[in-house]
Amino acid sequence: MTLRGLFQLALVVICAVLGLMIFVIVLAKVVRERRESRRAAMIAEVRPAVLAALESGAETTIGHFRGHRRAVAESIAIGLLPKLRGKDREALAAILQTGGILDQAVLGIGSRSAARRQRSAELLGTAGYEPAVPALANLLEDRDADVRLAAAQALGRIGDPGSVSALFSALEARRISANTASMAILRIGDQGSAGIDRALNSSDPLTRSIATELAASDPELAGVVLLAGTATVGDEVLRWQAQQVAATLPKPVKLVLSWNWKSWKWRVNIICA
């Protein structure tokens, strides 16, 4: 074959390849648009049923959907969940629970995919799903920082008082930040006071410091003696923190430092007048 013939053959092959590529791209675009069109039509069909279930409180209103329609109904419900509060959110969470979505999310906590573990924790926290608390507490030891953050935030949203100790343990091990721990515990509220009390005597200065702030933020503490924690000789962090907390309390206070000869540590007390 002559050089000219080879050139013409190469040109034909190139044109054929380019034509095939264009065909594949156009076909993929058509398939994607048809898929998006079908999904939009499905959402328009399913969304009223989800809203009707939310309004009526009937957990089985969307139970008749099967296959793709059921998946679309569940995705709509999951998308609405963070936007709702109070009874509306409880009703929507009940719909997800009845559909088995929350139980699937609990199983998702054990996934090999960090992204799925994170999404599962976020969904369970947003839904306030209390049965997931033990699994979320274990997730505070996850190797992925974003997953640990999602687990801590979920525990705060659920509000189980038993989570406070797990959050402080994660803080002591520096698996979550001080800000993450304090925000989650603040969301749990007064019910977590027992865990805060235990953290006041932690051997970790940062944990004692955060526990002091959280304890002093409770308005019910006015008029009582608050043990702010213990400090080793030379540990000025806790005493400085106690002074900062004392300045924010609604009533006059004074700090009393006493030496514990058995533990060989300073004991800092905030006394509210």
Residue 154 near residue 176, CB atoms below 8 Å? no
The position carrying tokens 């999951």 is 78
Residues 119 and 195 reside in one and the same domain: yes
Closest CA to 188 of 207, 169, 163, 208: 163
Amino acid 57: pLDDT: 58
What Å distances lie between residue 81 and 87, 102, 182, 200, CA to CA? 11, 12, 24, 36
Return the structure tokens found at 10.
């190469």
Rounded Cα–Cα distance for residues 202 and 215 (Å):
14
Residues whose CB falls within 8 Å of the CB of residue 257, separated by 6 or more in sequence, listed in order: 239, 266, 267, 268, 269
Closest CA to 183 of 200, 171, 172: 171
Closest CA to 221 of 253, 255, 244: 253
Residue 129 has pLDDT above 60, yes or no: yes
Residue 139 has pLDDT above 80, yes or no: yes
Residues 253 and 235 reside in one and the same domain: yes
Residue 170 near residue 199, CB atoms below 8 Å? no
Q: Which of 161, 177, 199 is the last residue of a domain?
A: 199
Q: What is the mean pLDDT of the chain?
A: 76
Q: Is residue 260 part of a domain?
A: yes
Amino acid 246: pLDDT: 61
Amino acid 220: pLDDT: 46
Q: Is residue 107 part of a domain?
A: no
Residues 189 and 126 reside in one and the same domain: yes
Amino acid 126: pLDDT: 86
Q: Quick one: pLDDT band at residue 259, thresholds 50, 70, 90?
A: very low
Amino acid 234: pLDDT: 47
Q: Quick one: pLDDT band at residue 237, thresholds 50, 70, 90?
A: low
Indicate the DSSP class of residue 149. H
Q: Quick one: pLDDT band at residue 149, thresholds 50, 70, 90?
A: very high
Q: Is residue 136 part of a domain?
A: yes
Q: What is the mean pLDDT of residues 12-16?
A: 86
- pLDDT tens digits along 241-253: 666 666 665 555 5
Q: Which of 177, 199, 221 is the last residue of a domain?
A: 199
Residue 135 has pLDDT above 90, yes or no: yes
Residue 73 near residue 50, CB atoms below 8 Å? yes
Q: How many residues does the chain have?
A: 273
Q: Is residue 28 part of a domain?
A: no
Residues 209 and 271 reside in one and the same domain: yes
Q: Is residue 15 part of a domain?
A: no
Residues 211 and 248 reside in one and the same domain: yes
State how beta strands 225-231 and 265-272 pair. antiparallel
Residues 246 and 192 reside in one and the same domain: no
Domain count, the chain: 3
pTM exceeding the 0.85 threshold for the entire prediction: no
Q: Is residue 231 part of a domain?
A: yes
Q: What is the mean pLDDT of residues 11-32?
A: 88
Closest CA to 92 of 118, 58, 64: 58
Q: Which of 164, 199, 234 is the last residue of a domain?
A: 199
- Hey, is 176 helix, strand or coil? coil
| Residue 41 or 58, more confident | 41
Q: Quick one: pLDDT band at residue 144, thresholds 50, 70, 90?
A: very high
Q: Is residue 10 part of a domain?
A: no
Q: What is the mean pLDDT of residues 189-202?
A: 78
- pLDDT tens digits along 151-161: 999 999 998 98
Secondary structure in 3-state letters for 181-243: HHHHHHHHHHHHHHHHHHHCCCCCHHHHHHHHHHHHCCHHHCCCEEEEEEECCCCHHHHHHHH
Amino acid 265: pLDDT: 54
Q: Give counts: helices (H), strands (E), the chain.
A: 12, 3
Residues 141 and 216 reside in one and the same domain: no
| Residue 219 or 97, more confident | 97
Return the structure tokens found at 200.
């006041």
Rounded Cα–Cα distance for residues 52 and 80 (Å):
13
Amino acid 163: pLDDT: 92
Residues 166 and 232 reside in one and the same domain: no
Residue 167 has pLDDT above 90, yes or no: yes
Q: Is residue 271 part of a domain?
A: yes
Q: Domain containing 259: what range? A: 204-273
Q: What percent of the chain is modeled with pLDDT above 70?
A: 71
Amino acid 12: pLDDT: 84
